[in-house]
Amino acid sequence: MTSIAGTIITACGGICRSVADIAVPPLCPLCKAELSCGPRRLCTACEQLLPCLPERRCPGCGGANDSYLDLCRDCLECGGRPWAAAVSAFPFAGQLREAVHAFKYQRQTSLAPFLAGAMADAWRRYGAAPDLIVPVPLHWLREISRGYNQAGLLAQCLGRELRRPAVNALRRRRRTSQQARLHYEERLKNISGAFMVKKPSIIVGKSLLLVDDVFTTGATLSAATTALLAAGAAAVYVITAARD
Ligand SMILES: [Zn+2]
Ligand SMILES: [Zn+2]
């Protein structure tokens, strides 16, 4: 049997623990104000500025659903999603948009426990227990230039919250051009076949929770889900910190 020990991201170590150890007294990861009472995740002022998703959400993308149908307009227009269900913690707006930007591009990795905590809360409410947690990988060159994979940090902290192992099951086998300005079909074409499963034996027959920071069109998550299902995953669910 293949050992999965080397592939599992240790849930107890890494960023979650080191952040908790360093932050004494605890600071708000958004504004760096000192937190007065207990190990709270954000200060009261920042918490009040966070945007919320409405109660009625789309199971295709985890975002708000103001249509009369089960799925939102975006999910209907793209012809459905390959995963079983998707959940998001926040809308990609306001203070949260700034937080994700700082987390992703300005090395504010101390935001990972806060974002993953909110994702875990949303998942407990809308999702089902997965066997394994799998981050969307960056291409290794991009990960080296950024210094970390933001989805990997979220998966690690989420694994700790949900008491499930986080596994780097996917690899990005080629670099893809920046997706930001492309439409869904162009993005899908751009990213199609970009992911491969490192050791299929780890994920065969398992239900997986695929983790990314922001859900924009869902093209990247689609390509990753397709690779996981083709390699034998029993089911794939998706969770993101924010729905754009
Ligand atoms: Zn704050
Ligand atoms: Zn949707």
pLDDT of residue 80: 87
Instruction: Give the number of the ligand closest to the Cα of residue 63.
Output: 2
Percentage of residues of the chain with pLDDT beyond 90? 63
- Torsion, CA 113, CA 43, CA 107, CA 98, rounded to 10: 110
Residue pLDDT, tens place only, 109-164: 989 999 999 999 999 988 888 999 999 999 999 999 999 999 999 999 999 999 99
Q: How far is the CA of 185 from the centre of ligand 2 (A)?
A: 16
Q: How confident is the model at residue 10 (pLDDT cuts 50, 70, 90)?
A: very low
Q: Report CA(104)–ligand 1 centroid distance (Å).
A: 18
The pLDDT of residue 12: 41
What confidence tier does 2 reach under pLDDT thresholds 50, 70, 90? very low
CA of 70 to the centre of ligand 2 (A): 9
Residue 25's pLDDT is 72
Q: What is the CATH number of domain 8-22+56-243?
A: 3.40.50.2020
* CA–centroid distance, residue 11 to ligand 2 (Å): 31
Q: How confident is the model at residue 182 (pLDDT cuts 50, 70, 90)?
A: confident
pLDDT tens by residue, 44-84: 888 889 999 998 999 999 999 988 899 999 999 988 899 99
Q: How far is the CA of 75 from the centre of ligand 2 (A)?
A: 4
Please tell me the predicted confidence (pLDDT) of residue 31: 85
pLDDT at 128: 84
**pLDDT tens across 185-238, in order?**
888 888 888 999 999 999 999 999 999 999 999 999 999 999 999 999 999 999
Residues lying with their CB under 5 A of ligand 2, a single-atom ion:
58, 60-61, 72, 75
